[in-house]
Amino acid sequence: MRFLFKVLAQVEKPIVVGQDGKNGRRQLIPVPSGTVEGTDLQGNPITGIVLPGAVDSQVIRPDGKCELSARYGVQLSDGRSFYIENNGIRTVPEEYVPRVLRGEFVDPSLYYFATTPRFEAYDDSLRWLENYVFLCKAVRKPDVVEISYYVVE
């Protein structure tokens, strides 16, 4: 695997849809903006922004495991664009489950957070995004999620 780029997604306060003992805590997290920085497959620099209107839909199960599905558009600084559907999981040690279920923030060093993105490219020069498998490691901070994208070669 090779690191290509990082997305820094600004996140707002979660909107709780509901919570119970069977399903867990369903929440929607608005992603109003963000940045993209790194390189393409050939090592050429890419920079851009996360477009407004993105959302991270999550369910935190009663065991503390968070299943998430984020959807966001990216516009590169040269005008090209692509869409990302990023699905993954975040888990915490058992002793932190009650805090997570209350919606409290847990130190990122205490959990596992990985995703598998899929892309839609809207420029032929970005089709490579659709033709490779990517894996991401992510870090959740109070107001930003740092998502590092790795291509599987």
> What tens digit of pLDDT does each residue of 117-152 get?
999 999 999 999 999 999 999 999 889 999 999 999
Burial class (CB in 10 A: 0-12, 13-18, 19+), 135: middle
pLDDT at 42: 94
- Give the percent of the chain with pLDDT over 90: 84
| Alpha carbon distance 95, 38 (integer Å) | 36
Amino acid (one-letter) located at 135: L
Q: What is the reported pTM?
A: 0.93
